[in-house]
Structure 1
Amino acid sequence: MNIPSRIEHLRAAMAQHNITAYLVPSSDPHQSEYVAPRWQTRTWLSGFTGSAGTLIVTNEDAGLWTDSRYFLQGEEQLAGSGISLERQQVPHAPEHVSWLADNLAAGQQLGFDGRVVSLSQARLLERKLSPKGVKLNAKYDLTTNFWEDRPAIPRSDVFAFDIAYAGQSRADKLTNIRKWLKKTGVDAVLLVALDEIAWTLNIRAADVDFNPVCLSYLLVTKEQVNWFVGKDRIDPKLSAELTQDGVKVEDYSQVELALQNFPASQQLAVDPATLSYRFYELLAGKDLKEVGSPVVMMKTIKNETEIKHFRNVMCKDGVALLRLFRWLEDTLKTTTVTEVEISERLAAFRGQQNLYKGESFPAIVGYNGNGAIIHYHAEPENCATLDASGILLLDSGGQYLDGTTDITRTVSLGNTTMEQRQHFTLVLKGMIALSKARFPKGTGGAQLDTLARQFLWQEGLNFGHGTGHGVGFFLNVHEGPQGFATSAVTSRGRTALQPGMVTSNEPGFYRTDHYGIRIENLILCVEDRSTDYGDFLRFETLTLFPIDRRLLQLDMLSEEERQWLNDYHQQVMAGILPLLKEDEERVWLRQHCQPV
């Protein structure tokens, strides 16, 4: 069944329920970033594989809204589908909602599957559409009857995450949540986000690609804990540990009955950003307190054990990258290499490292013009072939039992231009400025984001993505709430940085059809000093791998910036050299870390 045929089947189902427009988000019942194939409905209906996008289908039209990261990809994948690409002007802005308000009339219905739309999202739709007389219908997943080979709900093995890595016991975490219940004045909290549940219970799994989590819900009350995951997924040893910590395991599907039976005399805390609209309807008449999940901040501030492991994991991840780039340089001396080969080789080199569990996201391997596609993913049938010239952008990460990595390096393969070196240096200057920042407590990501863009802005240049995101510990590589973003509307922009937060620092520049440049390190927020003007914070760089000196325009760097780069490369050698066994590898590392 091709894409136009799927859209026609959807329209037929819409007609049966008198639905004028049908909305398909890029989400699952847990509002996950990476969703299991079971809920990749938007991708299946449209053919667009980008991680962010909203599909809207009416009787006559079909459009897909996405942000600038995916404009080039969207043009290619939607061509001939009958679905128009709707370019969002402001990242993360729900511009499709305004389109619905302008194009739907009184008495018409907007349909969507209430299980995959959050309460916050549904309320936004209601605020915009109710004054126009448009009704919401959240009852139906309209693809059910014609998505014949739809994947099943995943059920990977669930395993305990050792306290030697987690640094805090399950019992202590549950105790802290209960302290929050008491402080907030509620009787229970429902956790929906999969990484929050995995962190709380010190468990991991593989239900979702790249994120070591399992599909479940967690209901924590003052007296008991109910984990809706499935008894058959828990081995006897873990089951006994959970029982000892007061956790009762139930089936995934039983959560709906538990919500319906939740005592009307008690108050339940729910997070509107993750609670599905379907669950909100099930909880009608209950005493709800809408509040952000307490686990978000608990999880994002890493403890001393996690920080120690983060520092260690960067060393072995650097070894894997060193072996990848050595292999690439040697291979290009005699033959060509495809983007897909690079991705496969890197995964193999990481796989040689102790405690490696897989990629933390699909590697972005962009050669020359493909590097300008911000979230490009190489496919075997149409990927680029590299030779010993041009620029390669490689953004990748690994999941290890002892940490999560995310690193981008842009490297010269030969014959770079003055323009490329200038743009690379402008990006590096911004990355250094953010790395060196000292700032008072209470400073948010939007305030710091400007530091990374200032040198590009001076030349009338910019990049269309945020400068950084939080990173989990053997959890989601993209973790809230903090980050660096231009707008304080988003959590990444408004959240104040705190000691213990690990965040990416990744400014870039992209020249469409020519090349992309991005340099990314992970940085840890730490205490700096106290003065008469308050307590100050700074960043410690965690990522360890050389920055390509061949792409530098040295006369654009200040003495202070050169010193930062030289100091950083000394830090890289100190971390990676002790792990290298071959003299050739040591020579390569020293050569790429020479002072400028």
Structure 2
Amino acid sequence: MNQIIRNRIAALREAMEQAGMDFYMVPTADFHNSEYVDQYFKVREYLSGFTGSNGTLVVSREEAGLWTDGRYFIQAENELEGTGITLFRMLDEGVPTIKEYLRDRMKEGQTLGFDGRVVDTAFGVGLEKVLEEKKIVFAYGKDLADAVWTDRPALPSHPVMVLDEDICGKSAGEKLEDVRRAMEKEGADAFLLSKLDDLMWLFNVRGGDVECNPVALSYAYITGKECFFFLQETEMTEALRAHAVKYGITLKGYEEIVPFLQDRKDKECVLYDGRNTSYALYRTLREKGECRDGKNPTELMKAVKNEVELAHMEQVYLKDSAAVCKFIYWLKKNIGKMKITEVTAAQYLDHLRSEIDGFLDLSFPTISGYKENAAMMHYEATEDNCKELAPEGMLLVDSGGQYMGGTTDVTRTIVLGPVSPEIKEHFTAVAVGMLQLTNARFLYGCTGRNLDILARQPMWDRNIDYKCGTGHGVGYILNVHEGPQGIRWRFTESQTEAVIEAGMDVTNEPGVYMEGSHGIRTENVMVARNGVKNGDGQFMYFDTLTYVPIDREAIDVSCMQPVDIERLNRYHREVYEKIEKYLTEEEREWLADVTSPL
């Protein structure tokens, strides 16, 4: 494989030379800056061999580098070995950013090439500023992958599904009215929307163009009186056409977006979100007339779930939690008695989910990591490269489902046999941190930066950390990662810091990751709620949606305060009360035992 990657990089350099490019940049994105992308867009993976969901490849005539975040350091190091590509560990001390690297490496007047459709405006404009003094030429109109990737898959296309409005809580017409009011406040005449999950939410439709993410490749252009929805002709169903007529939505071909923007005669001030609009579309807008970079109003509207959505989510999470409980029971009962691998364990859990009413798909491929493999946060076992489980150590399983009524995300680290005192201490610290955040009371106006320390403090007390955020929003029958809300102590340029609003859901997932030894994560999903309001302000708290036991076999009570023990016992009592009705008698007896008080 290493030689294959070297050959592909060599072919890319040949294409660069023919196109007159000195450097070429390949991010991990589609035309909408989506986090997860279809096979058609996995150019960076094809060229580098690195399979993580986040990374950017930069290639020059002399060298090649790949930038990724802390979730993937171990994985990237393994996958890049022998390829000649240097790993740049983002946010590590002394490691240059991509912009700094290009500023320092590129010579005056050289050409930087990239496909402007897969680079977001915010990053592209930032590059313009950093490279302006060197008079760098931007060649953003050509995708060199077409010259190198000879058997590239076709652009994905799947029929769009129109959701029943009873499950959405708000019609597409009502949502469009909300958007137009937000446009008016911003002083915008038109709004270009490129973010796929926002588009699906706005129109109450779902697609299938990205694995595990029910979205369709599309754009929208909205004015005070008109609404245009651009998507592939092959995705337009009769139900969608009727839906569009009902709400005054004009359907247009996906490929028509650039000619449409170029042909607009009205002198409109167009609102767009530079984080999620491609650099190529931004250049089209800028050449046409006035445009304004601002946050998509749809992002916040989508993130604050309405009461209809929350009611459906509560039911979905109980059924999903029950499936995870059944899985843990099965695993504990059968470990050492039958052959179980990381892959077959994941397949069994996936099967349990598939039997739940309203199941549509997984919300992401199930992560199943045994012992040291769990130290890689986004490890992916395959049938020809996986560990067999044994009655020792721990298995980390991070999983979720898409249902007609919600999207789930849950992680548990399960004891299969003896574990060391150090592992127990780490496991207990993670549980304590998760429960501290669960029980937070905070004033309205707080962001995730204010709350992160509650989850992270037990790890920091031990001089260890996890190189990722503590929490992210979760979509409603949509993407498993959703903004603008997030819980983290540091927000980088691409990450939004947003006030926690009542109705926002957020994950709570502290962890410990020791390379070559073990990985631990405990993850629940919570919903922010308004609590007491008094002269000091609006106080808030979290309601929990996930009810799965935390493995007491790895709990070291000596590492807990009385309040920690009380919180774990209370959570376990709620787990039993809410889940027992979904279980068999044998499973119920097991759950009663594993949730009994410490």
1:555 matched residue in structure 2: 558
Q: Which amino acid aligns with 1:78?
A: L
1:124 matched residue in structure 2: 126
2:375 matched residue in structure 1: 372
CA contact (8 A) 2:328 2:414 kept: no
Residue 89 of structure 1 deviates from its aligned partner by: 2.8
Say if 1:521 and 1:441 are closer, same or farther in 2 by CA, change over 3 A.
same
2:589 matched residue in structure 1: 587
Within a 5 Å distance, the mapping from 1:226-305 to structure 2 comes to 226-283=228-285, 284-305=287-308
Say if 1:40 and 1:548 are closer, same or farther in 2 by CA, change over 3 A.
same
2:89 matched residue in structure 1: 87
- Equivalent of residue 323 in structure 1, options 315, 320, 326: 326
**CA deviation vs aligned residue, 1:405-451 (integer Å, no higher than 9, x gap):** 10010111111111111111111111111111111111111111111
**CA deviation vs aligned residue, 1:249-307 (integer Å, no higher than 9, x gap):** 11111111111112342211111111111112222131212211110000000000111
2:54 matched residue in structure 1: 52
Say if 1:147 and 1:248 are closer, same or farther in 2 by CA, change over 3 A.
same
2:350 and 2:480 map into 1 onto residues whose CA distance is 16
Residue 213 of structure 1 deviates from its aligned partner by: 0.6
Q: Which amino acid aligns with 2:81?
A: A
CA contact (8 A) 1:441 1:536 kept: yes
2:75 and 2:551 map into 1 onto residues whose CA distance is 28
1:397 matched residue in structure 2: 400
Q: Secondary structure at the match of 2:229?
A: strand
Report the number of matched residues: 594
1:259 and 1:194 map into 2 onto residues whose CA distance is 19
CA contact (8 A) 1:347 1:358 kept: no
1:4 matched residue in structure 2: 6
Within a 5 Å distance, the mapping from 1:512-523 to structure 2 comes to 512-523=515-526
1:65 matched residue in structure 2: 67
1:478 matched residue in structure 2: 481
Say if 1:163 and 1:157 are closer, same or farther in 2 by CA, change over 3 A.
same
1:306 paired to 2:309: yes
1:266 and 1:493 map into 2 onto residues whose CA distance is 27
1:355 matched residue in structure 2: 358
1:578 paired to 2:581: yes
2:219 matched residue in structure 1: 217
Within a 5 Å distance, the mapping from 1:114-263 to structure 2 comes to 114-263=116-265
1:231 and 1:13 map into 2 onto residues whose CA distance is 32
1:37 matched residue in structure 2: 39
Residue 231 of structure 1 deviates from its aligned partner by: 4.1
1:419 and 1:15 map into 2 onto residues whose CA distance is 54
Residue 547 of structure 1 deviates from its aligned partner by: 0.8
Residue 336 of structure 1 deviates from its aligned partner by: 3.2
Residue 551 of structure 1 deviates from its aligned partner by: 0.8
1:321 and 1:477 map into 2 onto residues whose CA distance is 17
CA contact (8 A) 2:162 2:239 kept: no
2:237 and 2:514 map into 1 onto residues whose CA distance is 52
1:538 and 1:84 map into 2 onto residues whose CA distance is 45
2:571 matched residue in structure 1: 568
CA contact (8 A) 1:439 1:537 kept: yes
- Judge which range, 284-293 or 44-53, deviates more: 284-293
1:493 and 1:551 map into 2 onto residues whose CA distance is 35
Structure 1 residue runs without a partner (length 5+): none
CA contact (8 A) 1:452 1:467 kept: yes
- Judge which range, 503-512 or 224-233, deviates more: 224-233
Residue 492 of structure 1 deviates from its aligned partner by: 5.6
1:401 and 1:476 map into 2 onto residues whose CA distance is 13
Q: Which amino acid aligns with 2:374?
A: G
- Equivalent of residue 96 in structure 1, options 95, 98, 110: 98
- Equivalent of residue 529 in structure 1, options 529, 532, 540: 532
Residue 232 of structure 1 deviates from its aligned partner by: 4.0
CA contact (8 A) 2:162 2:204 kept: yes
Q: Secondary structure at the match of 1:23?
A: strand
- Equivalent of residue 427 in structure 1, options 402, 427, 430: 430
Q: What do you get for the CA RMSD once the two structures are aligned?
A: 1.5
Q: Which amino acid aligns with 1:514?
A: S
Identity score, percent: 39
Residue 398 of structure 1 deviates from its aligned partner by: 0.8
1:500 paired to 2:503: yes
1:397 and 1:490 map into 2 onto residues whose CA distance is 28
CA contact (8 A) 2:376 2:519 kept: yes
1:462 matched residue in structure 2: 465
**CA deviation vs aligned residue, 1:453-477 (integer Å, no higher than 9, x gap):** 1111112111111101011111010
2:4 and 2:379 map into 1 onto residues whose CA distance is 23
Q: Secondary structure at the match of 1:110?
A: strand
Residue 489 of structure 1 deviates from its aligned partner by: 4.0
Q: Which amino acid aligns with 2:67?
A: W
1:129 and 1:201 map into 2 onto residues whose CA distance is 39
4+ long deviations beyond 6 Å:
none
- Normalised by the length of structure 2, the TM-score is 0.97
1:330 and 1:555 map into 2 onto residues whose CA distance is 28
- Judge which range, 329-338 or 470-479, deviates more: 329-338
Q: Secondary structure at the match of 1:13?
A: helix
CA contact (8 A) 1:369 1:514 kept: yes
2:288 and 2:204 map into 1 onto residues whose CA distance is 33
CA contact (8 A) 1:484 1:492 kept: no
- Normalised by the length of structure 1, the TM-score is 0.97
1:184 and 1:94 map into 2 onto residues whose CA distance is 36
CA contact (8 A) 2:403 2:477 kept: yes
Q: Which amino acid aligns with 1:253?
A: E
**CA deviation vs aligned residue, 1:164-183 (integer Å, no higher than 9, x gap):** 22111111101111111222
1:16 paired to 2:18: yes
Q: Secondary structure at the match of 2:58?
A: strand
Q: Which amino acid aligns with 2:154?
A: A
1:7 and 1:424 map into 2 onto residues whose CA distance is 42
Structure 2 residue runs without a partner (length 5+): none
- Judge which range, 228-237 or 62-71, deviates more: 228-237
1:232 and 1:493 map into 2 onto residues whose CA distance is 35
